[in-house]
Amino acid sequence: MTLYTVIFYLLSVVILVATAMAITRRQPVYAVLYLIVAFLGTAALFFLLGSPLLAGFMVIVYAGAIMVLVLFVIMMFQRSPQDPGSFFHWGPAGLLAVVFASLLVTMVFKDSGAGVMLKGVAVSPRDFGHFVFDRYWLAIEIVSLLLLVALVAVLQLGKRTEADDDESERPVEEGQP
């Protein structure tokens, strides 16, 4: 078993655990943070498999832009401040962070004789762009529209909640139900 195989399986475990933790969290902020860890693990996996362009896209677009926007919207509409929690809340996140950081350090400072980059999966940005936009342009447009609809829905739900709170705070005058 080579070093790349060990790193591949460990990254896969980190991604699966982070995704499971994101699904099972009750606080949306924690769920988004675990999802960011899953996206960073996926980016590291792409980099390991010889596709640094896809790894960069995962970090810049998904973990960087989309998740920061979602985190901002969640934190903007969250009503009450939450306590930082105990070790039970932060223990799994700390363990995932230590495993993920050790895997990244291993990938960066690996022994040059441990293995070679897989040549079959290396692709140029031009070929990747032609492949994606020739075959999957409709799917990309549908995903962009779904993200736009989700953003508008979150904004509308936030406005309705504020309007409902304002109506409930008004004093009830005599003679009105």
Q: What is the pLDDT along the chain (177 residues), one digit of tens a residue?
A: 788 888 889 889 989 999 998 898 888 888 888 888 899 889 888 888 878 888 888 888 888 888 888 878 887 777 655 565 665 666 777 777 788 788 777 776 765 555 555 444 567 788 878 888 888 889 889 988 998 998 888 888 877 655 555 555 555 556 555
What is the rounded CA–CA span in Å between residue 5 and residue 42?
15
What is the rounded CA–CA span in Å between residue 19 and residue 34?
7
- Cα-based torsion angle of the residue sequence 137, 141, 142, 143 in order, rounded to the nearest 10 degrees: 100
**What's residue 15's pLDDT?**
92
**What's residue 164's pLDDT?**
58
Q: What is the pTM of this model?
A: 0.57
- Domains defined along the chain, listed by start: 3-119 (1.20.120.1200)
How many CB atoms lie under 10 A from the CB of residue 116?
9
**What's residue 62's pLDDT?**
85
